[in-house]
Chains A and B, each alone.
Chain A
Amino acid sequence: MVDPTCGPLCAFAGLPAIAGSGDGVVAKERDGLGIARITARDRQLAALERLVQRRFHLLLPKGARRTGCGEVSLAGVGPESWLMTCENAGNAFAIGLRDSLGGPATVVDLSDAYVMLRLAGAKVRETLAKLVPVDLHERSFQVDDVAQTVAEHMAVTLWRLGDLAGGEAVFEISVGRSLARSLHGAIRESAAEFGFVFEPA
């Protein structure tokens, strides 16, 4: 049951924090992210590129790739469309974006629409391989690659961050908020044989 005292921000409230034994997969809830989708208006791509570069010192990634600078990241999620995130910014991020990029782009605040998990651990690839129909081999799905696909029939956005110092791969996966518990369950069950640890926000 959902803990009614928890409030609307806790999409993963009351879910099991461990499954199996060990820490083959460690999932950490990404809390407080500002998330917005920006899409270039008709024939405004060049103007948007200039604005993003001036404002965030980032080049719009070509294709399904991501890039980041400081607290802001940009991930290509469709032709002339990007998912932008900002650490600890919440809804204020999209409000600010509307002012700075709203001329050449449509800006949609998705901070409350999506939840995101950061997945690490020695068995993260083996676990994700059970869930998504995308080749996650390190040569095929490289650092900063982005994939929008399905995991257990849930539409997810997945990307790979830079490896940890020991060479361990790190991924972030996001899903619609109402599917948070289902995604948690799918990952937990898939990771149980390797040991699963969940760190809620």
Chain B
Amino acid sequence: MRIECPFCGERDHSEFAYFGDAACARPAPGAADAQARFVEAVYLRENPAGAHRELWYHEFGCRSWLQVTRDTRTHEILEVRLARESTAP
């Protein structure tokens, strides 16, 4: 699997570290239903068969956080952008 880093170009996935779901937002800790929301955020994750938005760190490259959209069935990389330039989640 290769990931097209927006800064470095196409690199082998061994240069990257996988972090996890990019679509998962941290709930507001002060909210009245904070506990229920945190349980949901920590344990109830989407597990799509198909496009999945996730965070990768280009550790052995430019050390940027990337937001990668990957097809979980084929490992096809559909989109890569710098996480700092992303508005998601």
Asked if B15 lies at the interface with its beta carbon under 8 angstroms from chain A, I say yes
Give A134 to B2 CA distance when docked, in angstroms.
12
Chain B interface, number of residues (Cβ within 8 angstroms) = 14
Interface size class of A (residues with CB under 8 A): 10 to 19
> Across the interface, which residues of B come within 8 angstroms of A79, CB to CB?
7, 62, 64, 82, 84
Give B4-42 interface residues, CB cut-off 8 Å to A: 7-9, 11-12, 14-15
Q: In the complex, how many angstroms separate the beta carbon of A151 from the nearest chain B beta carbon?
A: 10
B62 touching A77 by the CB < 8 A rule? yes
Asked if B61 lies at the interface with its beta carbon under 8 angstroms from chain A, I say yes
B11 touching A133 by the CB < 8 A rule? yes
* Among B11, B12, B60, B63, residue most surrounded by chain A Cβ atoms (within 10 Å): B60
- State the A residues within 8 Å of B (CB): 63-64, 76-79, 81, 133-134, 147-150, 155
> Can you report 22 A-B residue pairs in the complex whose CB atoms are below 8 A from each other?
A64-B8, A64-B62, A76-B7, A77-B62, A78-B62, A78-B63, A78-B64, A79-B7, A79-B62, A79-B64, A79-B82, A79-B84, A81-B62, A133-B12, A148-B8, A148-B60, A148-B61, A148-B62, A148-B63, A149-B15, A149-B61, A150-B15
